Chains A and B, each alone.
Chain A
Amino acid sequence: MIVADRLSKNFGSLTALTDVSFQVEPGEVLGFLGPNGAGKSTTLRILSGFLPPSSGKASIGDFDLLEDSLSARRLTGYLPEAFAAPPELRVEEYLRYRGRLRGLRAPQLRTRLEAVVGQLNLGPRLRQTFGTLSKGFRQRVGLADALLATPKALLLDEPFGGLDPLQRKEFRDLIRDLAKDGMAILFSSHVLPEVEELANRVLILHQGIARAVGTPAELSGHLNKCVGLRIRIQSSSRTFEEGLCALFPNISLETVSDTEWLLHDLEEASQKKLLAWLANRSEQVLEFSLVQPRLEDLFKSMVEGS
């Protein structure tokens, strides 16, 4: 549904994007992860039809965004990062106007308006002007606008910005429901847990280059060599830590507390050696567990590595 094929974008001498490619299928949620200035918003602006790419192709459905931008835009709902509407307009007036702009006729517009207002709990705010809304409700109006014409592709640029935890949860649930209904969803964020929780697949973008694409589990799998071991004993013991250091002099040992340690980069053979060593110790072991790598670790390693 959403296709980016070797997208590049330059702003004068500044390169914002370099050869970024990905696809989002109907029913899929692709999370766009990257620090500020990574090129996330530029990619979304290209896919929304607001900006053209310097090279490469982008399409929504079967419509190329350069050759048939209007048809592509008809299939797309887009929530820009700093969404704004005319402050003097009431929420209902604004949504009616946007519906008409998207070609909805009166009966259909009424039905869709009722639906999105219900989905986003905007009912009590319909008579309020946009300028008097809180940031959270402004985001809701933006999302309502994006959803009004039942788009096949939804582009959300930092949709959780400025939302409180409850609103974030509501937004996440809604996005999941929309994906279940077959919508292709691309959202950007620099909040890792949100991406990890919501996205079927994640694309990590840094300095305009796609560093990795895959499911959160696949991406975490890239970090297998970084898997750590957590050991927790009942009471503190100085000799225990000294023993660990002596056993693995070349391995990074992280002291979490008097009774807890993390061992990084431990190979399987070393793990067995450690188990055997623990069996001969007098300390009572409360925990001996593998530390699973998280998306955050991959993100950090990529951003810091570049």
Chain B
Amino acid sequence: MSAFLAQLRREVFSLFVTPSIYVLLGVWYFLNGLLFLYLLDYAPAVQADLRLLPQYFFGSGLLVWLLLPAFPPLITLRLLAEDYRLGTLEPLLSAPISDFAVVLAKYLGACIFFLLFWGGILLLFLLLDLHGATLDWPRVLCAFLGALLASFLFLATGLWASSWGGNLVLAAGGGAVLNYLLLFLPALMEQSPGFLGELFSAASIPKMLDQGFSAGLLDSYSLAFFLVLSCFFIFLTWLKLVSRRWVP
């Protein structure tokens, strides 16, 4: 356990001292801040009903669709691909820590760091509340949870892409492509006839975020969907790492 905590601490620390990640964070806050101002000043629907606000930020907003799949892989590319590239994986994996603990620490480190991304947006809601706006907080928090779960899934796919080797472009690009596929493929395919259509409809992340979490509905299916899929990609990452131990 102490080895796991040491690794987790190291991962969080390494993300906090990476300048390029603050550039991402700055872009994220800037664009979301602009959207926030725009919605409050120029969107009559939102002005009339502030309960719609979480939906734009955590559900079906343009930024969620465009930025969310791309940003997590830019963070996770450091996690394993950087280790491959620098040659730091061998000292790490020959230390007394299990491969699974390494993978989990790296993943949780990225998740903890990603809280900063969404935490800042949540702060905007808090500021709004402090200025006298009446917000539906259970709905805001539910939408926030949905966005977090989607982000954690995208971090898991990014981590898996990062385990493919020492190519940082492949790690970031591969993760982003996977995430866009996860996001858009079900939306494109859900109109297919029969079982395929039902399957893609059930896997539609925008639908889960927009009509579920952002609407204040905490659905056990959606919770399980994100958790199981995240675990699946964490498992694939572990499998990639542990495959070096397989005896040919």
Contacts and interface: CB of A to CB of B under 8 A. Distances in A.
B152 to A, nearest CB: 24
Contact of B14 (A53, A88, A101): A88
A73 B244 contact: no
A249 interface: no
Among the interface residues A48, A51, A71, A86, which one has the most CB atoms of the partner chain B within 10 A? A86
B236 interface: no
Interface string A62-84: 00000000110110101010111
Among the interface residues A12, A53, A78, which one has the most CB atoms of the partner chain B within 10 A? A78
Nearest to A44: B94
Given A88-B17, A103-B2, A11 B94 contact: no
A264 interface: no
Interface string B85-123: 011101101111110000000000000000000000000
Interface stretch (B3-11, B129-137, B176-184, B221-229): B3-11
Nearest to A52: B245
Given A10-B248, A51-B244, A100-B9, A70 B96 contact: yes
Q: Identify whether the interface residues of A are mostly helix, strand, loop, or mixed.
A: loop
A84 B96 contact: no
A118 interface: no
Given A11-B248, A52-B247, A101-B3, A73 B95 contact: yes
Contacts of B96: 70-71, 73-74, 101-103
A100 to B, nearest CB: 4
Contacts of A102: 3, 95-96
Contacts of A48: 94
Contact of B94 (A10, A73, A105): A73
Contacts of B3: 100-103
B97 A101 contact: yes
A85 interface: yes
A87 B86 contact: yes
Nearest to B95: A101
A61 B245 CA distance: 21
Number of chain A interface residues as a range: 35 or more
Contact of B91 (A12, A55, A83, A103): A83
A145 interface: yes
Among the interface residues B7, B18, B96, which one has the most CB atoms of the partner chain A within 10 A? B96
Nearest to A101: B6
Number of chain B interface residues as a range: 20 to 34
Contacts of A98: 91, 95
A49 B248 CA distance: 16
A130 B32 CA distance: 37
Nearest to B102: A101
A85 B9 CA distance: 16
A274 B91 CA distance: 59
Nearest to B3: A101
Contacts of A83: 87, 91
Interface in B1-51: 2-3, 5-7, 9-10, 14, 17-18
A50 interface: yes
Interface in B186-234: none
Given A51-B244, A52-B247, A97 B6 contact: yes
A101 B91 CA distance: 11
B233 to A, nearest CB: 24
Interface string A95-117: 00110111101000000000000
B9 to A, nearest CB: 7
Contacts of B98: 70
A45 interface: yes
Contacts of B90: 45, 50, 80
Contacts of B244: 50-51
Contact of A54 (B91, B94, B247): B247
Given A10-B248, A52-B247, A88-B17, A100 B2 contact: yes
Nearest to A47: B94
A129 to B, nearest CB: 10
A50 B94 contact: yes
A45 B245 CA distance: 11
Nearest to A84: B87
Nearest to B93: A50
Interface of A: 10-12, 45, 48-55, 70-71, 73-74, 76, 78, 80, 82-89, 97-98, 100-103, 105, 142, 145
Given A52-B247, A78-B91, A101-B95, 13 more contacts: A49-B93, A70-B96, A73-B96, A76-B94, A78-B94, A80-B87, A83-B91, A84-B91, A86-B14, A88-B18, A97-B9, A101-B10, A102-B96
11 contacts: A10-B248, A49-B93, A51-B244, A51-B245, A70-B96, A74-B96, A80-B91, A86-B14, A98-B91, A100-B3, A103-B96
Interface of B: 2-3, 5-7, 9-10, 14, 17-18, 86-88, 90-91, 93-98, 244-248
* Complex A-B, nearest 9 residue pairs according to Cβ-Cβ distance, in ascending order: A100-B6, A84-B87, A48-B94, A73-B96, A50-B94, A74-B96, A101-B6, A52-B245, A80-B90
